[in-house]
Structure 1
């Protein structure tokens, strides 16, 4: 590996080891401050000229030419129906935040970019329960006394491109009819991601337990262990996101490996973050495997490989 690659791995593991989240802070018009995981951000530019492409979904305001690459662009304030967004075209958002996640590159127009901050994950909390399934907030926190709303940009994009995210698995991608019943623990703060993973697991014939952050997952697993049950026998595997409030996936994996009653759990890290260093991160924190979001067929292949291992072991016992 190159030194630059090693430096980026060290940067990620230092943040993970201290259970911290780096956020790019920005505004969408008005006073409210928003944040997005900085590791999803490639660069921030002054708003470039936009052009139209045939067949582009109507929610996209156009396409930008960014370093010779055509990047589809969303007006983020318009996409989440931000009440303080100025509808006057003369006050259009001034900055383009170019992001990469879920194996794709896209840009979001925002009104102003503030700074990058590192927030302790224990200071990042789930958003208030407002009974709205279409909320685009994944967390809330504070910086210097100011409220920060962390946007689930995966949900924003998925709601626009839902047909591309949904998938029906081939019939042969299922457990044998005589396989014992199995459960999988899913840990992800994104409602869209939880729904997508549950759909894959249901098609594979597996029951899913869904939790929204690493702290909930660790507490749950410790409760299972304290009740006298082996968590590795209850759950064939744990599928965990990496970037989550309260406790990230790196720290969750580390805590699982440290606890003798949990260490036998199989952990698959499932993240929207792109980058060639993910396999090195998996090895460093002790996870068993990694798969990038979101490819339902690739996720299904990883899950099925593990489930077949468990089914074979149980039927041979």
Structure 2
């Protein structure tokens, strides 16, 4: 059976990423967030989404990329993520969101290049219109011990 999953494709710096469309609740324009004291650098704060407090993670910082200011294309993607066995809402700030699309063929496993790099937050690598697309394993992206210093509680 062909892999016909749909993904929301998003950009961070010059890289193209994707998340399963079934996990995306909504895509928002940037908005003010309440900062939390002593939070990890990639935890920007919380926003109100339909009466619920949702933590916002800067995807650039989670991926150890340089920080950047919001632009007209910046978006906040509200996702359902499994945190410790419970589904919670978590938001990612990305530089831009492109489209909902199927990838051109099945996902390939991430490259294994040695001990200095961990690809455990990557579900696989696909292609879209000739470009590589890294598909996140969202549950592992937010697991305790990941970049940014720990699990998100909301």
TM-score, normalised by the number of residues in structure 1: 0.41
2:52 matched residue in structure 1: 69
Using the TM superposition, give the Cα deviation of residue 88 of structure 1 relative to its aligned residue in structure 2, in angstroms: 4.3
| Residues in 2 aligned to 1:92 and 1:72: alpha-carbon distance in whole angstroms | 21
Match of 1:126 among 92, 109, 113: 109
Using the TM superposition, give the Cα deviation of residue 18 of structure 1 relative to its aligned residue in structure 2, in angstroms: 4.9
Q: Which runs of 5+ in 2 are unaligned?
A: none
Change (3 A) 1:130 1:138: farther
Q: For residues 26-47 of structure 1, what are the alpha-carbon distances to aligned partners after superposition, in whole Å with 9 as ceiling and x for unaligned?
A: 00122x2111111111010111
| Residues in 1 aligned to 2:5 and 2:60: alpha-carbon distance in whole angstroms | 23
Change (3 A) 1:88 1:36: closer
Task: Report the structure number with the largest CA radius of gyration.
Answer: 1
Pairwise CA RMSD? 2.5
Q: Which of the pair is proportionally richer in strand? A: 2
Q: Secondary structure at the match of 1:155?
A: helix
| Residues in 1 aligned to 2:60 and 2:44: alpha-carbon distance in whole angstroms | 12
Q: Secondary structure at the match of 2:103?
A: strand
Aligned length: 142
Change (3 A) 1:52 1:138: same
| Residues in 2 aligned to 1:61 and 1:29: alpha-carbon distance in whole angstroms | 18
Change (3 A) 1:161 1:90: closer
2:123 matched residue in structure 1: 138
Match of 1:98 among 65, 78, 87: 78
1:115 equivalenced with 2:95 (yes/no): no
Match of 2:151 among 161, 186, 197: 161
Using the TM superposition, give the Cα deviation of residue 119 of structure 1 relative to its aligned residue in structure 2, in angstroms: 2.9
Whether the aligned pair in 2 keeps the contact of 1:64 and 1:70 (CA below 8 Å) is yes
Whether the aligned pair in 2 keeps the contact of 1:138 and 1:150 (CA below 8 Å) is yes
| Residues in 1 aligned to 2:27 and 2:127: alpha-carbon distance in whole angstroms | 23
Where in structure 2 are the equivalents of 1:299-310 lying within 5 Å?
none
Query: Which structure is richer in relative contact order (CA contacts within 8 A, separation 6 or more)?
Result: 2
Change (3 A) 1:77 1:88: closer
TM-score, normalised by the number of residues in structure 2: 0.79
- Structure 1 runs of 4+ with >6 Å offset: none
